[in-house]
Amino acid sequence: MAIAIIDYGMGNVRSVQKAIEHVAPNEQVFLTDNAKIINDADRVVFPGQGAMGACMQALNEHDLVGTIKQAAHEKPFLGICLGLQLLFDHSQENGGTEGLSILAGDVVHFPKNELKIPHMGWNTVKHIIDHPLWHNIEDNSRFYSVHSYYVEESDSDVVAGSTNYGIDFTCAVAKDNMFAVQFHPEKSQHDGLQLLTNFANWQV
């Protein structure tokens, strides 16, 4: 089995690679921007850090938009951090940035003057639905996050997990073969590694 981690030059994807190699030692793990490798892979991981505008620019420069949309509809697909936000229609970041519109909704800034921004640290995650990627992870387990924006989805049926940072917000979404999280499983110790293990074993 081959797992492709999309590398478009944004964020520390090496930590994601090392975590997946740890939980799936017998699988081929590729860190790549090669569309053919991504298309041929059995599973795809879409990580990201930084500003959404720069990320969309990088995706276009690497000619990966169509490849990501195809993978998101065809095979087990895991978005991480900005890889969650980019799935939606539009972000307030960078004066307004269009996303990939794979899921309907917007990415908005946390309320200003009320919270320390960015939201950084450990928070509990409430399971909104039963899902294979929550296997062996207790409800309200703690995961590590770093972000200033969060998603406001148009369809509540996609919400898989929520957390609270001054407000309740969606931190995990799921639809068909897609699962995406705002937090960083690769930085979230045992429960994060369990989620990645579940993804490596997920039968869609």
| Catalytic positions | 81, 184, 186
- Say if residues 74 and 41 touch (Cβ distance below 8 Å): no
- Left (φ > 0), alpha (ψ -120 to 50) or beta: where does 111 sit? beta
3-state helix, strand, coil in the chain (%, to 5): 30, 35, 35
- Say if residues 111 and 117 touch (Cβ distance below 8 Å): no
* Distances from the Cα of 60 to the Cα of 37, 63, 99, angstroms: 17, 5, 11
The length of the chain in residues reads: 204
